């Protein structure tokens, strides 16, 4: 059911900065919440401060990881951690922290949890023929939430939401019409 209801309080969507350099360097200085295990070399041993530098986290964070089960090679200073143990620990941690969005949900960065948008209303902005952003307001903190979705999954993800389509020529229906999937093809 297409709708003409508006979300008047939604701020304009800002696309992520293109690789101009500035945005990336700013991002690199911020401590990383989700360290990338692919930076770890399996056959190396690391000191605590080396891990902090490698993964862009605070040394205190690495000590917390050790308290939470990241194994030391032995208990002699300087404390060393094997690359394999570190990689395994990070992979497990990432899997445990994963909070996938269900249908009609958008991840709120502030609440750090998937939320149904306020009023079950959202906007959809198509960026390409295949993908676009579903935008809604978090019902808890009122922050704008964004979810990149493929058009192939539009009907599935938007079921139960009132979605305002932002481009006239890309008008879609939020109903689970089978032709929607046929038309857009698979992801």
Give contact residues for Zn ion (rule: CB under 5 A): 108, 110-111, 138, 140-141
Could you tell me the end-to-end alpha-carbon distance of the chain, in angstroms, rounded to an integer? 23
Q: In the complex with Zn ion, which residue's Cβ is closer, 90 or 121? A: 121
Q: In the complex with Zn ion, which residue's Cβ is closer, 27 or 110? A: 110
Q: In the complex with Zn ion, which residue's Cβ is closer, 6 or 141? A: 141
Q: In the complex with Zn ion, which residue's Cβ is closer, 108 or 158? A: 108
Q: Closest separation between CB of residue 140 and Zn ion, Å? A: 5
Q: Is 45 exposed, middle or buried (0-12, 13-18, 19+ CB in 10 A)?
A: middle
Q: Which residues of 127-163 are buried (b: 16+ CB within 10 A; e: fewer)?
A: eeeeebbbbbbbeeeeebbbbebbbbbbbebbeebbb
Q: Closest separation between CB of residue 123 and Zn ion, Å? A: 17
Q: Closest separation between CB of residue 159 and Zn ion, Å? A: 22
Dihedral sign, Cα of residue 49, residue 86, residue 94, residue 38: positive
Token readout for 29 is: 């200085």
Q: Closest separation between CB of residue 101 and Zn ion, Å? A: 13
Q: Closest separation between CB of residue 145 and Zn ion, Å? A: 7
Q: Is 66 exposed, middle or buried (0-12, 13-18, 19+ CB in 10 A)?
A: middle
Q: In the complex with Zn ion, which residue's Cβ is closer, 72 or 141? A: 141
């Amino acid at each position: 059911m297409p709708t003409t209801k508006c979300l008047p309080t939604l701020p304009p969507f800002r696309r992520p900065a293109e690789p101009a350099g500035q945005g990336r360097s700013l991002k690199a200085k911020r401590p990383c919440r989700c360290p990338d295990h692919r930076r770890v070399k399996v056959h190396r041993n690391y000191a605590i401060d080396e891990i902090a530098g490698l993964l862009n986290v605070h040394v205190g964070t690495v000590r917390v990881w050790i308290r939470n089960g990241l194994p030391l090679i032995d208990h002699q200073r300087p404390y060393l951690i094997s690359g394999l143990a570190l990689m395994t620990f990070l992979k497990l941690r990432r899997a445990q922290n994963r909070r996938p969005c269900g249908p009609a949900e958008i991840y709120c960065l502030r609440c750090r949890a998937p939320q149904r948008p306020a009023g079950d209303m959202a906007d959809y902005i198509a960026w390409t023929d295949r993908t676009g952003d579903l935008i809604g307001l978090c019902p808890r903190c009122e922050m704008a939430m964004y979810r990149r979705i493929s058009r192939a999954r539009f009907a599935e993800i938007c079921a139960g939401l009132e979605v305002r389509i932002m481009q006239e020529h890309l008008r879609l229906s939020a109903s689970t019409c089978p032709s929607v999937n046929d038309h857009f093809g698979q992801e």
